[in-house]
Amino acid sequence: MFKLPSLPQTAVNLIPKNIVPSNLASDSLTINSNQAITKFPLTLRSHMIDVMPKILRPSLKLLPFSAQKALLLPALSSVFQESIEDGDFEFLQGKWLKIVISDLNLNWWLSFDQDKLIMASMNELLAANITEDVCFSATGDDLILIAGRKQDPDTLFFQRRLKIEGDTELGLEVKNLIDAIDIDQLPSSVHSLVAFSATFLQNTRDELANA
């Protein structure tokens, strides 16, 4: 089983300390998250959500493909470990999936070979004269909401916040796997960060909609 490398301590420190312990029950974790979030004024939370992609884009643009691959592949292999072992990714054999995080200008190409997920850069695909078979695109916020179980892919798809282009049948297979995401497979610090971020986003959006 792949292990996700430790997050930088600064990222983990973004989570209020009262929600980090991994031995808390899920309901207690949600309550503590909500209490921590409401301590921040709504206008401040809204501003943070708006400016975060602008802050992250320049840094992520400088992050080499090798570093992105070293982080992403172990994370995906951990999240989808059971699906990989059950052979649920075999439909992606010889096919390429492009993932676009639109607000961060990030593009990743994934496939499946020899019982494991593989990842290639755009230059590698161009050199091999390969194009993606299906493309998934969404904002980073919406992907966090999916991972944190605050939104489901079907809802975002019908709202056109999750876009699927290319081989429709292949896209539906991928969407079904996204439905089965299990963030409990991630290390506790990463799990807490995803859970808190998703709750932060959803609560802020709900409050803005009701304001």
104-124 tens-digit pLDDT: 999 999 999 999 999 999 999
Q: What is the pLDDT of residue 10?
A: 39
Q: What is the pLDDT of residue 206?
A: 94
Contact 53, 103 (CB under 8 A): yes
Contact 111, 92 (CB under 8 A): yes
- Quick one: pLDDT band at residue 30, thresholds 50, 70, 90? low
The strand pairing partners of 117, in sequence order, are: 112
- Quick one: pLDDT band at residue 31, thresholds 50, 70, 90? low
pLDDT reading at 9 higher than 60: no
Tokens of 60: 């992520």
Residue type, 137: S
- Quick one: pLDDT band at residue 192, thresholds 50, 70, 90? confident
Q: Where are the beta strands (DSSP E) in 40-114?
A: 97-101, 106-113
Phi-psi region of 199 (alpha: psi -120 to 50; beta: other; left: phi over 0): alpha
Contact 177, 88 (CB under 8 A): yes
DSSP state of 21: -
Q: What is the pLDDT of residue 7?
A: 38
Contact 164, 98 (CB under 8 A): no
Q: What is the pLDDT of residue 11?
A: 41
DSSP state of 117: E
Tokens of 207: 């409050």
Identify the weakest region by mean pLDDT among 73-77, 176-180, 184-188: 184-188
The correct CATH number of 35-206 out of 3.40.140.10, 3.20.20.370, 3.30.1050.10, 3.90.1150.10 is 3.30.1050.10
Residue scoring higher pLDDT (2 or 139): 139
User: pLDDT (tens digit, 9 = 90+) per residue, 131-172?
Assistant: 999 999 999 999 999 988 899 889 999 999 999 999 989 998
Q: Report the C-alpha gap between 137 and 162 in whole angstroms.
A: 6
Cα–Cα nearest to 96, from 124, 68, 75, 60? 124
Contact 194, 148 (CB under 8 A): yes
Q: Report the C-alpha gap between 192 and 148 in whole angstroms.
A: 10
Q: What is the pLDDT of residue 32?
A: 65
- Quick one: pLDDT band at residue 184, thresholds 50, 70, 90? confident
What's the Cα-to-Cα distance from 103 to each of 46, 56, 75, 146, 209, rounded to whole Å? 16, 10, 21, 16, 21
Cα–Cα nearest to 203, from 10, 54, 39? 39
Helices (H), 64-132: 65-79, 81-85, 122-127
Q: What is the pLDDT of residue 15?
A: 42
pLDDT reading at 8 higher than 50: no
- Quick one: pLDDT band at residue 5, thresholds 50, 70, 90? very low
Q: What is the pLDDT of residue 61?
A: 85
Identify the weakest region by mean pLDDT among 22-26, 50-54, 195-199: 22-26
pTM of the model: 0.79
Q: What is the pLDDT of residue 73?
A: 93
